Chains A and B, each alone.
Chain A
């Protein structure tokens, strides 16, 4: 069941590369197994975060202070594209990320964020670039605020930007709703659909 998200003021780290795919966020060989959750945070961005000998790559932003404490990512275009692996979201969550702000996200990654209580925010690229520039100018000292109630982002210098969000998904995050329980309340409707569909498209349904 996802954690609720309401408001967050935290250190933000800009990761402005284009097309950061879910393979980059978590390597496949860290997620092969039935019980990988809880062990992924260390391996988030592994290929960027560690040198081939296993030591920290000092060039990578999340290895530097104060970005090590980042709970918000400001991201380049098409962040989270590629594979459907939800482990990418789990890995970010386990390293402490609660919100991701970018100009566009991979569709499946975007949906996976909501499933896990991470707020993904889409804003115009020009706003993203200005947020990244402000954060870099303060060397990470300026904190970003994300308010889901008000649907605003406040930059370190106090500039507020409104954002759009699907009301259903907003409500789900604010309340930390469990979708499976909610959908199972509609089980009568699901079974009624199946009964009428069985008459219309019997070739779809293998059991009476």
Chain B
């Protein structure tokens, strides 16, 4: 028997095995299944057509986020968006699934509301038909995105068939410099290991910088795990995690809470656990990051220069850079700072939580969005929106010339008709700068909320450290 220490992944995984299907593939119990408007009703309809009931509706939760407009009163929601919402309402109601509907506390981006409601808990296994489900790993949950067929399988059986991934530990040590955020750390990591560097791994983030990081930053770190190719990102829960969860609507209470915390304290890698791959990053060397190309791995420090294909020997890499520069309309070798921008989007499951809006408002306060720039702030949930309004953050944004919107995914994936027009350049706090992601021929640069506001104020990509007070 292997006597080495066990990883966080192994501990959670083993606890969820219903049946071993082969040497490395298990049938795992799903503790929380989150549905959204884009695929949720499709799965429920599939199941209905096969005459199979939902196995555990009480472990399944739904909210509309992807396809509804974030304009006031949801004006501008496209017809298919309303149709999807109508189907989600009908099918969740028929199946006895809790739906957090529009304008209710609890509605919002599915990866924002899970932690916020206390649905996402340490040691629990969470799936959702959305690749950014890895976000919930910030609380010590094993959480990952699944496809439509798998979604239907979970509805029917409350289980998922999974191959056990390899493990990778990323240690972020050192003190975070002024102006550097969780988003900058994870973008720097993706630049370092590449967009496929985590493929086949579950990534555990550790180190002093993670320990000192607030929970919402940890959620941001885990959110981008899939952009380095990993399906799952994990952070061991600690007292900060427990403080964050305590008192949330679906969190355990009273004596049950004490029992849960005692259990959660064991949900961490043993000190002698062995990982298949180890990466160490000294965060004190990181500066605010911005992407220049069409993959999150196309990233550099905001003081950097756009790559020049002429400097690249490897033909495949050179060709990839040429294609990206052509799409992005950028000049090789030029500084990235000073590149004019047309749009700024603050939102998405990466960066739409209250702490993100506070960081953005801190930079926006008393300043004005540059002429010709359209800038949106889209809170991640109804609760984030209400809390931000209670603190007056909405006023700061509106006074600075930002639009303050309703919660949803909005311009992150532009499934709801909210798009950056063709050829226009956007600085976005979201997670993907893919070709066409924010709309056909839209050009996206990923950055932290503070860096995005700096771009809005400057009318160009800018170093927030020059602006901050």
- How far is A32 from B83 in the complex, measured between Cα atoms in Å? 10
Q: Contact: B415 with A115, CB < 8 Å?
A: no
The answer to whether A207 has its CB under 8 Å from any CB of chain B is: yes
Q: Which of B217-253 contact A (CB under 8 A)?
A: 226, 229-231, 250-252
Q: Kindly supply a per-residue 1/0 record for chain B positions 354-384, scoring 1 wherever the CB is within 8 Å of any chain A CB and 0 otherwise.
A: 0000000000000000000000000000000
Q: Contact: B157 with A86, CB < 8 Å?
A: no
B45 to chain A, nearest CB (A): 6
Contact residues in A for B42 (Cβ distance below 8 Å): 34
CB closest residue in chain B, given A48: B435
CB closest residue in chain A, given B67: A32
Known: A21-B434, A23-B437, A190-B157. A206 touches B59 (CB 8 A): yes
Q: Contact: B59 with A183, CB < 8 Å?
A: no
Contact residues in B for A186 (Cβ distance below 8 Å): 18-19, 27
CB closest residue in chain B, given A115: B149
Q: Kindly supply a per-residue 1/0 record for chain B positions 255-287, scoring 1 wherever the CB is within 8 Å of any chain A CB and 0 otherwise.
A: 011011001000000000000000000000000
Contact residues in A for B193 (Cβ distance below 8 Å): none
Binds A, one of B195-203, B305-313, B455-463: B195-203
Contact residues in B for A193 (Cβ distance below 8 Å): 18, 29
Contact residues in A for B129 (Cβ distance below 8 Å): 84
Binds A, one of B99-107, B140-148, B391-399: B140-148
Q: Which of A114-140 contact B (CB under 8 A)?
A: 115-116
Contact residues in B for A76 (Cβ distance below 8 Å): 316
Contact residues in A for B252 (Cβ distance below 8 Å): 202-203
Choose one: A32, A47, A86, A104; the contact of B81 (CB below 8 Å).
A32
Q: Contact: A180 with B50, CB < 8 Å?
A: yes
Binds B, one of A60-68, A105-113, A141-149: A105-113
CB closest residue in chain B, given A88: B147
Q: Kindly supply a per-residue 1/0 record for chain A positions 18-62, scoring 1 wherever the CB is within 8 Å of any chain B CB and 0 otherwise.
A: 110101100111001110000000000001000010000000000
- How far is A204 from B24 in the complex, measured between Cα atoms in Å? 26
Q: Contact: A84 with B149, CB < 8 Å?
A: no
- How far is A193 from B87 in the complex, measured between Cα atoms in Å? 32
Choose one: B29, B45, B124, B295; the contact of A194 (CB below 8 Å).
B29
Q: Contact: A183 with B153, CB < 8 Å?
A: yes
The answer to whether A152 has its CB under 8 Å from any CB of chain B is: no
Q: Contact: B434 with A24, CB < 8 Å?
A: yes
Q: Which of A172-208 contact B (CB under 8 A)?
A: 179-180, 183-184, 186-187, 189-190, 193-194, 197, 201-207
The answer to whether A81 has its CB under 8 Å from any CB of chain B is: yes
CB closest residue in chain A, given B253: A203
Choose one: B58, B415, B432; the contact of A206 (CB below 8 Å).
B58
Q: Contact: B22 with A168, CB < 8 Å?
A: yes
A119 to chain B, nearest CB (A): 16
Contact residues in B for A77 (Cβ distance below 8 Å): 196, 316
Contact residues in A for B229 (Cβ distance below 8 Å): 78, 81, 106-107
Contact residues in B for A106 (Cβ distance below 8 Å): 199, 229
The answer to whether B414 has its CB under 8 Å from any CB of chain A is: yes
Q: Which of B430-447 contact A (CB under 8 A)?
A: 432, 434-437, 440-441
The answer to whether B297 has its CB under 8 Å from any CB of chain A is: yes
Q: Kindly supply a per-residue 1/0 record for chain B positions 409-450, scoring 1 wherever the CB is within 8 Å of any chain A CB and 0 otherwise.
A: 000011100000010000000001011110011000000000
The answer to whether B161 has its CB under 8 Å from any CB of chain A is: yes
The answer to whether B350 has its CB under 8 Å from any CB of chain A is: no
- How far is A105 from B252 in the complex, measured between Cα atoms in Å? 39
Known: A29-B415, A106-B199, A183-B159. A82 touches B22 (CB 8 A): no
The answer to whether B386 has its CB under 8 Å from any CB of chain A is: no
The answer to whether B192 has its CB under 8 Å from any CB of chain A is: no
The answer to whether B78 has its CB under 8 Å from any CB of chain A is: yes
Pull 17 A–B residue pairs with CB atoms less than 8 Å apart, ordered by A. Answer: A27-B436, A32-B78, A33-B80, A33-B83, A77-B196, A83-B413, A105-B199, A115-B149, A116-B149, A166-B163, A168-B25, A189-B18, A190-B18, A197-B29, A203-B259, A206-B58, A207-B58
Q: Using a CB–CB distance below 8 Å, which chain A residues touch chain B?
A: 16-19, 21, 23-24, 27-29, 32-34, 47, 52, 76-78, 81-87, 89, 104-108, 111-112, 115-116, 166-168, 179-180, 183-184, 186-187, 189-190, 193-194, 197, 201-207
